[in-house]
A and B are shown apart, each in its own frame.
Chain A
Amino acid sequence: MSRPEEGGVALDDALARFRDMMASDGYTLSWSVTGEDRVVVRIEAGEDACADCLVPLPVMEQIMSNALEPTPYTLDHIVLPAK
């Protein structure tokens, strides 16, 4: 899902642990690299997703920015499920 790392924590390792948290509310988390070092995080709702349980966007941005700190990447943006 991500490019090989040249230093720091691998992108997949940094973000994978949040999959479980999102899965608890019925969401799937995926990510892709754009440009040199920017990451786009995508959240998709599963069939049984709790619509009211999704973390607010500013909080999700904080979570992902913190998670990316030990990696060479920074957060570009988060794509939330369509309402």
Chain B
Amino acid sequence: MTGRERLLDPTGFDEKAADDTLAPRPAGLRGLTIGLLDNTKPNAEVLLTEIAGELQRRYGAGKSLMYTKGYFGTPAEEDMLKRIAKECDLVVTAVGDCGSCSAATVADGILLERAGIPTVSIVSDSFLVSGRAMAEVQGFPGFEFVAVRHPVASLDAEQLRERVRDVLPDVLRILGVES
């Protein structure tokens, strides 16, 4: 080994991270670029695409950009988060439907908010506790995220659209936009 290896903290936490202030909210979604952070869990990409479509059709949001994490169980790598923050005006990240990935999905949301990007993390309601605990570990106990009815992985296209319709008001509320 030629040098120190960097270990990835599964909590995404470091001593600098204690800011519990949300990024500034947009006045509306018209023309804004939507970042979609796919954690590679089954149906995450479809769910995110459906949400982006709704935001574009109903609220005039701009283009969407899909980003795919390398591993669902830890927060996205710093380089990816920086790229998202540079290229997008808001982010939706999904789907936390297991213990580690629900925690990581919430951590991604917090890290992006700290980078100045309004972010909606989507976690299945079976893993709300895991998401909330991660928010506390991150020093952001009041961080709000969306709970989608469990399960997500086994749903067909119509069932996913129904889930999206269910959570859309919460997505808009967290983004600070009136539905």
Q: Given contacts A20-B126, A21-B99, A22-B99, is CB(A59)–CB(B11) below 8 Å?
A: yes
A79 part of interface (Cβ distance < 8 Å): no
Interface of B is mostly: helix
Select from chain B the residue with minimum beta-carbon distance to A50. B98
A58 part of interface (Cβ distance < 8 Å): yes
B67 part of interface (Cβ distance < 8 Å): no
Residues of B near A54 (CB, < 8 A) are 99-100
* CB-based contact B126/A59 at 8 Å: no
* CB-based contact A55/B136 at 8 Å: no
Question: Interface readout for B91-126 with A: 1 if CB under 8 Å, 0 if not?
Answer: 000000011110100000000000000000000001
Query: How many interface residues does chain B have, given as a range?
Result: 20 to 34
Closest-CB distance, B93 to chain A (whole angstroms): 17
* CB-based contact B10/A25 at 8 Å: no
* CB-based contact A24/B98 at 8 Å: yes
Select from chain A the residue with minimum beta-carbon distance to B41. A53
A52 part of interface (Cβ distance < 8 Å): yes
* CB-based contact A55/B100 at 8 Å: yes
Closest-CB distance, A63 to chain B (whole angstroms): 4
Question: Interface readout for B53-82 with A: 1 if CB under 8 Å, 0 if not?
Answer: 000000000000000000111000000000
Residues of A near B103 (CB, < 8 A) are 55-56, 59
Report which of B73, B129, B150 forms a contact with A63, defined as CB distance below 8 A.
Answer: B129
In angstroms, Cα B127 to Cα A63, docked, is 11
Within 8 A of B (CB), among A56-79: 56, 58-60, 62-63, 66
B137 part of interface (Cβ distance < 8 Å): yes
Residues of B near A66 (CB, < 8 A) are 133, 136
* CB-based contact A59/B127 at 8 Å: no
B43 part of interface (Cβ distance < 8 Å): no
In angstroms, Cα B135 to Cα A59, docked, is 9
Closest-CB distance, B145 to chain A (whole angstroms): 14
Question: Interface readout for A3-43 with B: 1 if CB under 8 Å, 0 if not?
Answer: 00000000000000010111011000000000000000000
Which residues of A are in contact with B by a Cβ distance under 8 Å?
18, 20-22, 24-25, 50, 52-56, 58-60, 62-63, 66
In the assembled complex, 26 residue pairs joining A and B whose CB atoms fall closer than 8 Å, in A order, are A18-B129, A20-B126, A21-B99, A21-B127, A21-B129, A24-B99, A25-B98, A50-B98, A52-B72, A53-B73, A53-B99, A53-B101, A54-B99, A55-B99, A55-B103, A55-B130, A55-B133, A56-B10, A56-B11, A58-B10, A58-B137, A59-B10, A59-B103, A59-B133, A60-B133, A66-B136
